[in-house]
Amino acid sequence: MRIDILTLFPEMFHGVFSESIIKRGIEKKLVEIYTHNIRDHSTDKHRRVDDYPFGGGAGMVMMIEPIANAIQYLRSEREYDEVIFVTPDGVPFKQNKANELSLKKNIIILCGHYKGIDERIRDLFITQEISIGDFILSGGEIAAMTIVDAIVRIIPGVIGDESSALTDSFQNGLLSPPIYTRPANYQGLEVPEILLSGHEKNIADWRFEQQIKKTRERRPDLLEGIDI
């Protein structure tokens, strides 16, 4: 899989993508990730990428030409399955979307900044618009990192124990159950006996019950439409 990220601040990604799971995926050659500075595609001698909004108002808007030039440059090199814009007014990012995107071959992620991007970029190039939550960030970079991490970790082979990713929260629409490790007794707090029983079916049933309980308590909205 190849992920190309268009941003005004490519340096922000270096530390995140050189550690942990994403680093492992890159080293295993299961994913390629490239960051591209949108300013490199500006035709302005000062590499300007923003201007005042038509109609007035506070803030600046990312201009159409530098972004369009960057996308067209990448498209001249290969075909892309998706061109994604990370934006607060996009579709909420959920696990099923991460699963879907992990099956793609090539995607572009565009990071907005300032007050946003010229609407014509969305009309001409964007195939999906994604939000990571109902809040405002300074730019799309952190949101893009979040999306990339969620995608890369479920690419087969990235995580050593692939079954681990499949039992994470949201994979089956529910929150994950409580988990424990050694010691079995810590200052009088004991691990539930069922987890020490070795009985796989009973353990699986207990975990599912705990998933439902936790989800009902913390995220009842996730249970809507689920037949349990």
Is the residue at 228 inside a domain? no
Judge contact between 75 and 51, C-beta under 8 A.
Answer: no
User: Are 32 and 80 contained in the same domain?
Assistant: yes
The C-alpha torsion from 181 through 184 and 187 to 192, rounded to 10°, is 90
| Residue 34 sits in the same domain as residue 118 | yes
| Claim to verify: residue 20 and residue 76 sit in the same structural domain | yes
pLDDT tens for the 228 residues of the chain, in order: 999 999 999 999 999 999 999 999 999 999 999 999 999 999 999 999 999 999 999 999 999 999 999 999 999 999 999 999 999 999 999 999 999 999 999 999 999 999 999 999 999 999 999 999 999 999 999 999 999 999 999 999 999 765 555 555 566 789 999 999 999 999 999 999 999 999 999 999 999 999 999 999 999 999 987 777
Regarding whether 116 and 42 lie in a shared domain, the answer is: yes
Q: At residue 73, what is the residue type?
A: Y
Integer angstrom CA distances of residue 16 from 68, 95, 134, 172: 27, 20, 23, 28
Residue 203's domain comprises 167-223
Read off the CATH number of the domain in which 12 is found: 3.40.1280.10
HSE toward the beta carbon, residue 210, CA cutoff 13 A: 14
Return the structure tokens found at 175: 């929150």
Check residue 165 and give its pLDDT: 58
Three-state DSSP class for residue 109: strand
Q: How far apart are CA 208 and CA 163, in angstroms?
A: 16
Q: Which has the closest alpha carbon to 145: 12, 8, 2, 1?
A: 12
Cα–chain-centroid distance for residue 116?
A: 19
DSSP state of 171: T
Do 100 and 189 lie in a common domain? no
Last residue of a domain, one of 125, 152, 179: 152
User: How much is the pTM?
Assistant: 0.87
Q: How many separate domains does the chain show?
A: 2
Query: What CA–CA distance (Å, rounded) separates 188 from 190?
Result: 6
Residues 92 and 187 grouped into a single domain: no
Q: Is-contact 152 158, C-beta < 8 A? A: yes
| Among candidate residues 152, 187, 205, the one where a domain is terminated | 152
What confidence score (pLDDT) does residue 226 get? 75
